[in-house]
Structure 1
Amino acid sequence: MVDTTASVSKNNTLPQLKNSQLHTGVLLVQLGTPDSPSVSDVRKYLREFLMDGRVIDYPYIPRFLLVNGIITTFRAPKSAKVYQKLWTKRGSPLKYYSEDVVQLLQQQLGDGYKVVLGMRYQNPSIKSALENLKDSGLEKIIVIPLFPQYASATSGSVHQKVMELIQDWQIIPSLHFISYFLDHPKFIEAFAEIGKRYMQEDTYEHYVFSYHGLPERQIRKGDASGTTCLIGDCCATWHAGNKQCYRAQCFETTRRLATALGIPQDKYTVCFQSRLGKEVWVQPYTEDVVKDLAKRNIKKVLAFSPAFVADCLETTIEVGEEYKELFEEHGGEHWQLVESLNTHPLWIDLLTDLVKKQN
């Protein structure tokens, strides 16, 4: 694995800042992770995650019955086994990389800023993170969901939760929400830098850019005009009509990365993973692409997961291991995952830019 980590302070503690020095709070929000890989903690996490009306956008009662009566009952034991494979001595990679990013960003921003971490689901919660900022006499709070592309089920859910929690504060600081950052040059530069190291070590015949999937229904709901989404080659360009569309943003991310890496269009494929249930999700599906590449006698594939900024179950296990096994089962020989940004120095620079542009 390529080492892309930046330096984290040995004592892993934030600088102690006096309230009089502070004027800006920075809330970084990740999706979340179980507190442990036990079945009970995984079930608790899945229940909170899947009961979010922006994740499964069914009416409450059908959603409750589906999540609590079917999904978590059968999925939690299976998911717990996968989390056990992912877990390290430091715990969940998504959590500890996010904690490291908070440390590094605080160090880089310096006095005048207070950086905290919240998980949309489980711990540390967004509520606890906001309470940490509440009594600091802040002039503004910048909320950065750590998702490169906007989706209602991710960044939209974070924005909604923050507004719900902060609405009863007597003094509400100026709030600034970051919706996406796929178009930030340092995001492309950082992922390209990691990818190039693998490309220098080996020759790959094809490149896969796999993104977390969403139901087609949710994608269409984001098209207020009803005239653009999933009609023809709607994501071939990124324009005013699809600027906030998750699928269009994924294709735009890939085009920018392919350009930075010098990959011709016929040598890469955009696809979507992690389907749940029988409903139609955005396509093409990654598992179908993997099988097709192997059947086409493609032997070496380099895989990217540019919807994630920290290694997690969906990258390390799903893309890195499960799709590797699927590729090899159908005749492929070498499947290599490009790890996430984690604590890459350019990633910290990107977050610093996002914060300072709001001041």
Structure 2
Amino acid sequence: MEAKSRTGVVLINVGTPDSPAVGDVRRYLREFLGDGRVIDLPWLGRKLLVNGIIAPFRAPKSAKAYRKLWTPQGSPLIVHGNALVEAVQQRLGSSFKVVLAMRYQKPALPKVLDELLREGVGHVVLVPLFPQYSSAATGTALQEAMRILGTYTDVPSVSSVGPFHADEGYLNAFKQRIEQHKPETYDHVLFSFHGLPDRHIQRSHTTCSGAMQKDLDSTPVAGCPCEQGPYDKHPSCYKMQCHATARALAQRSGLSSDRWSVGFQSRLDQKWVTPFSDRLIEQYAKAGMKRLLVVSPAFVADCLETVIEIGDEYNELFQEHGGEHVQLVESLNAGPDWADALTRLVREAC
């Protein structure tokens, strides 16, 4: 088989610091938050905010969290990512070359793509590992990959795996994780997704923009009407995709509508998509709930936002207000059912 007949498959995740040291975490935050699709301010304002305020003050706290997260093998995002590469490679066979890249830090996307093209692949499949589309994750990953590939004299043919929030394989893999914890034994199930600024949702389509406040600098918007469905009306709406995923998982898990809800975590300020997961956690505890199951379907690999933010911080918050235990549902990581689903998505994208 000639090298040119091989297909390169690039699994792309957000990124992780090189180590939990404060300097490495600061460097990661500067690159990550310096992306105009993540913090969409004018260049100078973004640079001053990130380099002068956010990174210096946030790095020590984040480094402490990363130290708790770190394993002897390194960052879980890298460990799970490498395991997933191996699993998908085995399923695709020798006519494919599967690699892992991070949008920020290492393994750096420019280097990964360069090594792949030097091997002579004839086609590249980009696989942003984000089930729900957002400009700040999927959008920036695809934009940067295409920018890099466009610098080569011989630009390969390129395709990509789109949002897979409604994919049966992805949903069934998460359903299996949920069922392992017997959700019927918990008072409530919270589906917690990564938050986004309200303005990102507003800019995604005109229906949301018209239904919500037009002043992007006003008080937080009430919400996106897409959360109630139909879920195929505006396929690019992040909040719609999150609610569609949660509803599909709840139905597959046999949860009645009063036994589950949706929240959004990791906000930087109050003008982000609501409801906020941490406030829901506090609310549930004050209402007398004792056992809470939390699923985070926005992440296909366990990371800081799942293990530390949900598993540790939300559990502590729940207990502070009278609850007993928050149980985090393990992410898909490199499980065989997830590897099967992702392999199929790659083949369909070729």
TM range (shorter): over 0.9
CA distance in 1, matches of 2:177, 2:223: 34
Q: In structure 1, which of residues 173, 180, 188 is the aligned counterpart of residue 171 of structure 2? A: 188
Q: Deviations over 1:247-276 (max 9, x none)?
A: 110000000000110011111110000011
Q: In structure 2, which of residues 255, 267, 270 is the aligned counterpart of residue 263 of structure 1? A: 255
Is 2:293–2:327's contact at 8 Å kept on the other side of the alignment? yes
Is 2:101–2:108's contact at 8 Å kept on the other side of the alignment? yes
Q: In structure 1, which of residues 251, 255, 262 is the aligned counterpart of residue 243 of structure 2? A: 251
CA distance in 1, matches of 2:56, 2:325: 36
Q: Secondary structure at the match of 1:341?
A: coil
2:288 is the counterpart of 1:305: no
Q: Secondary structure at the match of 1:303?
A: strand
Q: Secondary structure at the match of 2:289?
A: coil
- The aligned counterpart of 1:42 is 25
Percentage of pairs with the same residue = 47
Give the direction of change, closer, same or farther, for the CA distance of 1:97–1:173 in structure 2 (3 Å limit).
same
Q: Deviations over 1:90-132 (max 9, x none)?
A: 1110111001111111111102101111100000011111012
Question: Structure 1 residue 20: deviation in Å?
Answer: 2.8
Give the direction of change, closer, same or farther, for the CA distance of 1:162–1:232 in structure 2 (3 Å limit).
closer
Read off the aligned partner of 1:72 and give its amino acid letter. A
Question: Structure 1 residue 228: deviation in Å?
Answer: 5.2
2:307 is the counterpart of 1:324: no
Q: Deviations over 1:288-313 (max 9, x none)?
A: 10011011111111110110011100
Please list, as runs of the form range in 1=range in 2, the aligned pairs for 1:184-263 lying within 5 A after superposition. 184-199=167-182, 203-224=185-206, 226-227=209-210, 233-263=225-255
Is 1:32–1:121's contact at 8 Å kept on the other side of the alignment? yes
- The aligned counterpart of 2:335 is 344
- The aligned counterpart of 1:152 is 135
- The gaps in structure 1 that reach 5 residues or longer are 1-17
Q: Deviations over 1:166-199 (max 9, x none)?
A: 1121111211122311111111111110110111
- The aligned counterpart of 2:106 is 123
CA distance in 2, matches of 1:123, 1:231: 36
Question: Structure 1 residue 334: deviation in Å?
Answer: 2.1
Is 1:271–1:286's contact at 8 Å kept on the other side of the alignment? yes
Give the direction of change, closer, same or farther, for the CA distance of 1:336–1:220 in structure 2 (3 Å limit).
same
Aligned residues: 340
- The aligned counterpart of 1:68 is 51
2:77 is the counterpart of 1:94: yes
What is the TM-score of this pair, normalised by structure 1?
0.91
CA distance in 1, matches of 2:142, 2:263: 27
- Of 223-232 and 35-44, deviating more is 223-232
Read off the aligned partner of 2:249 and give its amino acid letter. L
Is 1:22–1:136's contact at 8 Å kept on the other side of the alignment? no
CA distance in 1, matches of 2:228, 2:135: 21
- Of 63-72 and 230-239, deviating more is 230-239
What is the TM-score of this pair, normalised by structure 2?
0.94
CA distance in 1, matches of 2:260, 2:231: 22
CA distance in 2, matches of 1:274, 1:19: 47
Q: Secondary structure at the match of 1:357?
A: helix
Question: Structure 1 residue 138: deviation in Å?
Answer: 2.4
Please list, as runs of the form range in 1=range in 2, the aligned pairs for 1:263-302 lying within 5 A after superposition. 263-277=255-269, 279-302=270-293
- The aligned counterpart of 1:9 is none
Is 1:24–1:113's contact at 8 Å kept on the other side of the alignment? yes
